[in-house]
Amino acid sequence: MLIVMHHSATDAQIDAVHRAVEAMKLQPVSIPGSQRTAIGVLGNQGYVDDSAILELPGVREVIHVSKPYKLVSRDFHPASTIVDVKGVRFGDGCPPVVIAGPCSIESEAQMLASAQLVKAHGAGMLRGGAFKPRTGPHSFQGLGRDGLKLLRQAGDAVNLPVITEVMRIDQLDDVCRYADVLQIGARNMQNFDLLKEAGRRSHPVLLKRGMSATIEEFLSAAEYLLSEGNSQVILCERGIRTFEKATRNTLDVSIVPLIRNISHLPIIVDPSHATGKRSLVAPMAKAALVVGAHGVMVEVHPDPDKALCDGAQSLDGPAFERLMAEIKGLITYLGY
């Protein structure tokens, strides 16, 4: 932590800051400059709470050098994490994985058709939502536990591991029973109680970036999972909220190479939710892979125009087949 004093800060003010730092059991070191004094703070083992310093007289600014995460950081854990889900592997050196399936689980027939479709074209994991967060109270809210069973059945039928979103702590047992990967959605990225409970399970967790979460907050949320002992975490970029409304969100493609550099965790991309437009799913999936994403998650529905949820962004069978053909060519280019 670096404490920057005002140009006009007095010696007494600088002394008071020193004493406040010492009261936190840390060591202050004055760095006199030509225009102002800065005070370095040494001895901290991690992120320091700056509340006691920030509004002391003469303090202009407090700059944090340590990040609020450590376990997820490549700085301290250089080796890449590989997340292995029944042999489907996410991480450096592994070919990218395609997770596919419908936004929501609607019926046995729909799930089975979806599973056969995505398996036929090479997806590595089946997705489907049983509990749906919907912006308005009158929309379809998902099949719940019955949906979980249908998902499991469909996955088993085609021999694919399955992933589904868990929204509440009291859903964790059910979701762990039926799914292979726990998905924590963008709206729950800072639901710290849920993160902690998920961190105590042994299931791999796919953590989606919050709609307005910085990379630092995203990694801090993952830190919650790791600090409870669960290091099988896959990060997922799904678009951020910006002023541009031509797409539902703005897919922050650059987060992929950035996070691969900062963290040892695998990162995938969800182009369906990010863009909200079927026609953008394939190009953005390819963009994600070409910058190094360890996978993509796409919405596929055998009959998107009849989907109960997010049909406008779902690929139908022929579109998914085309996408998978393009991805295969791209993976060859990428050297896998």
Separation between Cα atoms, residue 276 and residue 273, nearest integer Å: 5
230 belongs to the binding site for its own copies (CB under 8 A): no
Separation between Cα atoms, residue 209 and residue 267, nearest integer Å: 10
Reduced to 3 states, what is the DSSP secondary structure of residue 232?
coil
In the complex with its own copies, the residue whose CB is nearer, 85 or 224, is 224
Burial class of 77 by CB neighbour count within 10 A (0 to 12, 13 to 18, 19+) = middle
Separation between Cα atoms, residue 238 and residue 234, nearest integer Å: 13
290 belongs to the binding site for its own copies (CB under 8 A): yes
Cβ contact 280:296 at 8 Å: no
Separation between Cα atoms, residue 39 and residue 2, nearest integer Å: 6
Q: Which among 54-62, 111-119, 148-156, 230-238 is the span making contact with its own copies, rule CB under 8 A?
A: 54-62
Q: Which among 52-60, 104-112, 114-122, 174-182 is the span making contact with its own copies, rule CB under 8 A?
A: 52-60
Among 220, 230, 263, 272, binds its own copies (CB under 8 A): 220
Distance in Å, CB of 25 to its own copies, minimum: 13
Distance in Å, CB of 161 to its own copies, minimum: 26
Among 124, 224, 299, 317, binds its own copies (CB under 8 A): 224
In the complex with its own copies, the residue whose CB is nearer, 51 or 87, is 51
Among 88, 251, 267, 300, binds its own copies (CB under 8 A): 251
Among 280, 300, 323, 324, binds its own copies (CB under 8 A): 280
258 belongs to the binding site for its own copies (CB under 8 A): yes
18 belongs to the binding site for its own copies (CB under 8 A): no
283-308 as b/e, with b when 16 or more CB fall inside 10 Å?
ebbbbbbeeebbbbbbbbbbebeebb
Distance in Å, CB of 273 to its own copies, minimum: 13
> In the window 152-211, what residues touch its own copies (CB under 8 A)?
167-170, 187-188, 190-193, 196, 211
> In the window 98-127, what residues touch its own copies (CB under 8 A)?
none
13 belongs to the binding site for its own copies (CB under 8 A): no
Rounded to 5 degrees, what are φ and ψ at 66?
-75, 145
10 belongs to the binding site for its own copies (CB under 8 A): no
Separation between Cα atoms, residue 7 and residue 58, nearest integer Å: 8
* Residue 213 amino acid letter: A
